[in-house]
Amino acid sequence: MTVTIYSYAQNHPRIYKALVVAKYNDLEVKFDDKFVMGTTNKTPEWIAKFGASQIQKWIVRLTQPFYFTLRHAVAHYKDGSSLVGRSKAEEAHIQQWIQFVDISIAPFLNQWVIPLIMPERVPYNKFTETTATEKVKNQLSVLDQYLIRKTYLVGERITLADISCATSLFLGFKNVFDTAFRKNYPALTRWFTTVINQTNFKAVTNDFVLCETAVKYVAPKKDTKEKKPKEEKPKEEKKPKAKEPEPEAEESFEDAPKPKSKLELLPAAKMPLDEWKRQYSNNDTPVATTWLWENIDLTTDYSIWKVDYKYNDELTKLYMSNNLAGGLMNRLERARKYAFGCLVVAGEDNANIITGYFIVRGVADEMIEEITDAADYDSYRWVKVNVDDAEKQKINQVFAWEGSVDGKAIKDGKVFK
């Protein structure tokens, strides 16, 4: 069996998950060297195979006709793979730890590390770094306490939980979890070094080197161009003359503040999104949604998108599905000023779905970059909807977490506001 991966060079930690799993499952791996991010993934042929999305983080193909967008799919493909658990209870335990790290640690670790190593992609913000660092430390303490008496996260041998969680923490141990930092998490450090030194792991990451000195933010140097000395002119006899008005300084285009998002260039919305969020937070949902439909302008200011999890048939426990929905919300920090959304979990254990609606700034037919940039974006199907009376009723139910969706009673939900 051959695994083909489509991705971009900077995506190594995510790709490692598939590569290590492939090693354990004796799958041959190759990269599509013709793949160009932003070009290949927008062709009709690509969309026909993988669905319509702005940017796929990465894709796995296991010969025709199997195509997967999830990094864990390779582990589940091979029948009888011990990586996914030897019983239903063990499988649930594995998923618990994967979701714990993916939801409670990875998003904040990315907020901490990415601006330090790729400032051209995510601008550095001291407050964001401080907040994210504290959240990571708190959750690492939970993991460390659990691992005091454990060699692996689940059972007595390596599983998908170890592979997924270790690769999710890869950027931390490589860039910011330095020697002093690791002393506070001895069990976690012991577990991480045990996992990354497994033969199948080393075949992918080679000899991983733990961070000795944490990467720190360094402010860019100001552009100090050398000024050319003025040519000296022959001195002339000074003559008294009338004082001329000083010329006004020309406004430099470069000095103008640059918008953080192209959405900032849009005309002011008739309905401020923050006001809708206050209405939703402070009133009963029927009162709030009545206000919404009276004030929102869907012709010039906002669009509404239906959101459905692509892999509902893989969902098990209701609380795990709700945690998964929360994971998407945690990764949408860039969209905080430009979107509002609700995701609900409907159904019952082992037969449930994740679905919902998002209000998004702008009326373009393509989703805004602040949402497509989220790591979980490609796990969901986003469809811009025409909001008629029937659609309004569905949106009202989702925003209220009441009623049913596709015949399944709404049980829980998450709100992004």
Tell me which amino acid residue 329 is.
M
Sign of the dihedral through C-alpha 359, 362, 365, 371:
negative
Q: Which two tokens stand for residue 320?
A: 């795990």
Residue 178 lies in a domain: yes
Task: Note the pLDDT of residue 219.
Answer: 75
**More confident: 39 or 32:** 39
The least confident of 161-165, 257-261, 342-346, 384-388 is 257-261
- Whether 100 and 70 share a structural domain: no
For the stretch 192-238, pLDDT in tens is: 999 999 988 888 888 789 999 999 988 776 555 555 555 555 555 55
Task: Note the pLDDT of residue 53.
Answer: 47
Tell me which amino acid residue 55 is.
I
Residue 91 lies in a domain: yes
CA atoms within 13 A on the CB side of 346: 21
The least confident of 72-86, 287-301, 336-350 is 72-86
The residue assigned the tokens 């995506």 is 11
Q: How far is CA 64 from CA 4, 49, 61, 67, in A?
A: 11, 10, 8, 8
- Whether 124 and 191 share a structural domain: yes
Residue 45 lies in a domain: yes
DSSP-derived secondary structure letter, 257: P
- Whether 53 and 124 share a structural domain: no
- Looking at residues 353-382, what average pLDDT do you find? 92
Q: How far is CA 163 from CA 42, 331, 374, in A?
A: 31, 21, 22
The DSSP secondary structure of 349-363, one letter per residue, reads: TTEEEEEEEEEEES-
- Whether 269 and 400 share a structural domain: yes
Sequence-ordered list of residues with C-beta below 8 angstroms from that of 389, at least 6 positions apart, any chain: none
- Whether 269 and 398 share a structural domain: yes
- Whether 73 and 93 share a structural domain: no
- Whether 58 and 133 share a structural domain: no
Task: Note the pLDDT of residue 75.
Answer: 46
DSSP-derived secondary structure letter, 373: T
Last residue of a domain, one of 42, 77, 112: 77
**295: confidence class by pLDDT, cuts 50, 70, 90:** very high
Last residue of a domain, one of 185, 205, 225: 205
Parent domain of 71: 2-77
For the stretch 63-106, pLDDT in tens is: 433 444 444 444 444 445 678 878 888 889 988 998 899 889 99
- Whether 91 and 69 share a structural domain: no
φ, ψ for residue 110, nearest 5 deg: -65, -40
> Are 130 and 217 contacting, i.e. CB atoms less than 8 angstroms apart?
no
Within 10 angstroms of residue 269's Cβ, the number of other Cβ atoms is 17
Residue 218 lies in a domain: no
For the stretch 144-195, pLDDT in tens is: 999 999 999 998 889 989 998 999 999 999 999 999 999 999 999 999 999 9
Residue 102 lies in a domain: yes
Q: What percent of the chain has pLDDT over 90?
A: 44
Residue 238 lies in a domain: no
Q: What percent of the chain has pLDDT over 70?
A: 76
Domain CATH code at residue 64 = 3.40.30.10
Residue among 89, 67, 50, 52 at smallest CA distance from 3: 67
Mean pLDDT, the chain, integer: 81
- Whether 326 and 384 share a structural domain: yes
The least confident of 55-64, 282-291, 368-377 is 55-64
Task: Note the pLDDT of residue 250.
Answer: 45
The least confident of 24-28, 68-72, 146-150, 328-332 is 68-72
Residue 52 reports pLDDT greater than 60: no
Within 10 angstroms of residue 93's Cβ, the number of other Cβ atoms is 17
The residue assigned the tokens 């979980």 is 376
- Strands of the 408-416 sheet, one edge to the other: 380-384, 302-309, 351-361, 339-348, 408-416, 404-405
Can you tell me whether residue 38 is helix, strand or coil?
coil
Residue 249 reports pLDDT greater than 50: no
Residue 55 reports pLDDT greater than 80: no
Phi-psi map region of 387: left, alpha, beta (phi>0 left; psi -120 to 50 alpha)? beta
Residue 251 lies in a domain: no
The DSSP secondary structure of 302-367, one letter per residue, reads: EEEEEEEETTGGG---HHHHHHHHHHHHHT-GGGTTTEEEEEEEEEETTEEEEEEEEEEES--SS-
**More confident: 416 or 236:** 416
> Are 340 and 292 contacting, i.e. CB atoms less than 8 angstroms apart?
no
- Whether 383 and 306 share a structural domain: yes
Last residue of a domain, one of 156, 183, 205: 205
- Looking at residues 274-292, what average pLDDT do you find? 92
Helix (H) or strand (E) holding 201: helix 199-205
pTM of the model as a whole:
0.53
> Are 82 and 159 contacting, i.e. CB atoms less than 8 angstroms apart?
yes
- Whether 70 and 7 share a structural domain: yes
- Looking at residues 100-120, what average pLDDT do you find? 90
Domain CATH code at residue 362 = 3.30.70.1010
- Whether 294 and 358 share a structural domain: yes
Residue 252 reports pLDDT greater than 50: no
Burial class (CB in 10 A: 0-12, 13-18, 19+), 109: buried
User: What is the spatial distance between Cα 13 and Cα 104, in angstroms, rounded to a whole number?
Assistant: 17
Can you tell me whether residue 30 is helix, strand or coil?
strand
Count of domains forming the chain: 3
- Looking at residues 135-147, what average pLDDT do you find? 93
Beta bridge partners of 29: 3
Q: Which two tokens stand for residue 120?
A: 């051209």
The least confident of 140-154, 156-170, 241-255, 392-406 is 241-255
Residue 54 lies in a domain: yes
